[in-house]
Chain A
C-alpha cells in the first residue's frame, strides 16, 4: 500500500505537470502568429491528424451507429417507442459519442504518434539541434500540432456524426424496416443545429487537450527508447482519461449556460 508521503508527492508532481503544461500551452498559443509563419507545418499536421484519420473514424462510427441503434431499437421496442430510435441515437451521437469517441480514437492514433515522434526527436538530440540552430522549438513543434488538432477534431467529429447516422439509418430503415419518413421527421423535430455545435465545440477542446498532453510528454522524454515508450503510453492514457473527465465538465458547463440563457437542453 502506498504511504501518505508517496501519495502527497504524486499529487505535487501532478500539480507541477499541470502547471508546466499550462505554461507550454500559453507559449504555444502566443507563438501561433509569431514569425516565421508555420503554416506549412500546420497543414502537414492537419493532413496527419485529420485527413489520415478519416478512414478509421468512418469505420468505427459506422459500426457505432449500427450497434447503438440496435440497442436502442431493442429497448424501445419493449415500450412501443421505436419511432424515437432515430432522435435518441442522433442526440447521443451528436452530443456525446461523436466527440468523445473521436477524441479517444484520434488521441490513440495521432496523439500516440505525436508523443513517439517528439520523444524520439528528444532522445536523438534533434530537439537540442533545433534549439542550438536558433529555432523556437515550441513554435516549430508544439504550436502547429495544437492548431492542427483544434481544427481537425471538429471536422472529424462531423464525419463521425454523419457516418454514424448513416449506420443508424441503415439499421433502422433497411434492416429492421422502420419507416424512413418517421425516422427523419423525428430527428428533424428533436435535433437542432445547437446539439451538433455542442459536440463540435467539445471536440475542439479535446483536440487541444490531447495534442497538448501528448506533445508535452514527448517533448519532455528522458531515458532513451524506454523513455519514448513510456512517454507515448502516458501521453495516450492521460489524454483518454482527460477527454472522458473533461466531457462531463464541458457538458455541465454547456447545460449551465443553457439554463442561464433560458435555452432548452
Chain B
C-alpha cells in the first residue's frame, strides 16, 4: 500500500456544507410496505462517506434516491443545494452530470472499447470538444487510474475484473463530477482486488479535494478502513452516523453485532 493510502480516514477536506441532505425520506413501492421509513442523512461536501448495513436495509434504494432515479414517497432530498423534487425529468437528467458512479459490475458498454467507454460521457456532454481533445482527456483519466495503455483498444470482455473497475472509475471521473458514488465496489472480488479497489477509491478521493465520495457497501472492513464518515442503515432508517471510532464505541446492540460479525454478509 502506498504512503498516501495509509491513513485514509484523516480526510481534512470535508466541509460543513452539505453535499447530500435527506430529511425524513420515506419510500414505498406498493403503497403498503415502506423500504425507507423516515431516513435522515447529511453527507458533507468533500467527505468520503460509507453507507453500510445488512442486506435489504435500503442502501441501494437510498443511493437511487440520491441519484434521483427514485422519487421519495415523502420527505425531502437536496443534492448540492438543489431540491430534487422540484426538478423536471429533463433537469434531473442534466443534473446527473454532477455524479460519477462506479457500479458493482462496472457497467461498461460491452460494444465499446475501453477508451470509447471513457470518451462516451465526454462526447455526450462536452460537445464543444474535438474528438482529439476528448481522447486526450479520456487517456488522462485512464492513466489516473493506472490502466496500461495497451488495454485501451480492448473490449471490456477482453480485460480482467480489476481493469474493468479501473475503466469504470475512469469513466465516472470523465466529467469531473462533484459527487463520486461507489455502489458495492468490492462485492464479489477477491481480497487482493478488493484492496486494490479500496486504495483506488482513497487515492482518487485524495487527488480530488472538494469532491464528495459516497460508498455503499456491506464490507465493514473496507468502510472503516477508507471512509471518514460511516452511516449505518437498518430497516430503512439511519441507525448511526459517525467515524469508525464511534462505531467501535457504540452501545447500540445492532451496531455492536455488525461490528463484531464484520463482513459476514
Contacts and interface: CB of A to CB of B under 8 A. Distances in A.
A221 B120 CA distance: 24
B107 A128 contact: yes
B69 A134 contact: no
Given A124-B105, A133-B96, 19 more contacts: A36-B124, A36-B127, A124-B110, A125-B104, A125-B105, A126-B107, A128-B69, A129-B109, A131-B67, A132-B69, A132-B99, A132-B101, A132-B181, A133-B121, A133-B124, A134-B93, A134-B97, A136-B90, A136-B93
Nearest to B181: A132
Contacts of A120: 110
A132 B124 contact: no
For the complex of A and B, 5 pairs with smallest distance between CB atoms: A125-B107, A129-B107, A134-B96, A134-B97, A132-B101
Contacts of B95: 134
B6 interface: no
B103 interface: yes
Interface of A: 36, 120, 124-126, 128-129, 131-136
A124 B111 CA distance: 13
B94 interface: yes
Interface string B19-47: 00000000000000000000000000000
B96 A132 contact: yes
Given A125-B103, A128-B103, A129-B101, A134 B124 contact: yes
Interface of B: 67, 69, 90, 93-97, 99, 101, 103-105, 107-110, 120-121, 124-125, 127, 175, 181
B69 A135 contact: no
Contacts of A124: 105, 107, 110
A134 to B, nearest CB: 4
Contacts of B67: 131-132
Contacts of A132: 67, 69, 96, 99, 101, 181
A37 to B, nearest CB: 10
Contacts of B127: 36
A126 B99 contact: no
18 contacts: A124-B107, A125-B103, A126-B109, A128-B69, A128-B103, A128-B107, A129-B103, A129-B107, A131-B67, A131-B93, A131-B96, A132-B67, A132-B101, A133-B120, A133-B121, A134-B124, A135-B124, A136-B90
Contacts of A136: 90, 93
Contacts of B103: 125, 128-129
A134 B94 contact: yes
A136 B124 CA distance: 10
Nearest to A120: B110
Contacts of A135: 93, 124
Contacts of B99: 132
B13 to A, nearest CB: 23
Contacts of B107: 124-126, 128-129
A2 to B, nearest CB: 24
A124 B125 CA distance: 23
Nearest to B97: A134
B61 to A, nearest CB: 13
Given A124-B105, A125-B105, A136-B93, A131 B124 contact: no
